[in-house]
Amino acid sequence: GWCPLSPTGAQTTQLLVEPPWRPAVLWDWGMLTCQGLGTAGTTTWYRDGRRLGQQGPDRLSVTESGTYVCDRPGTGRSPPVRVSEDPLVLQVPARALLEGDTVTLRCRG
């Protein structure tokens, strides 16, 4: 399923990650979806601070490691999502966690 990386409200731009685990690793990766106000298809994508194109689709297939950000008119830039090539990671669900929550951890390699 989809999970917001950040517990921000509807008035901000968010990056949704699939699969919904963090940290994100390239070998276990799929899509980023940019959500925010504005017209569909007006997303600008950045990797490591460099623009990946002009305006484009709201979903991006990740094929390279780096730090990704999307920008939507009306709500601005999203918090960054880092996608690494680490061979071994300890992952937690990509959702807001509160004290007292039961959490499933994944060791992936």
Label residue 5 by pLDDT band (50, 70, 90). Answer: very low
Model pLDDT for residues 41-62, shown as the tens digit of each residue: 788 999 999 998 766 788 898 8
Residue ranges of domains in the chain, CATH in brackets: 14-108 (2.60.40)
> Pairing mode, if any, of strands 59-61 and 50-51?
unpaired
Distance of CA 21 to the CA centre of its chain: 10
Distance from C-alpha of 74 to C-alpha of 37, rounded to nearest angstrom: 6
Secondary-structure breakdown of the chain: helix, strand, coil percentages, each rounded to the nearest 5:
5, 45, 55
pTM for the predicted model, two decimal places:
0.77
Q: What is the pLDDT of residue 45?
A: 93
Average pLDDT over the chain, rounded to whole?
82
Q: What is the pLDDT of residue 95?
A: 76
Label residue 15 by pLDDT band (50, 70, 90). Answer: confident
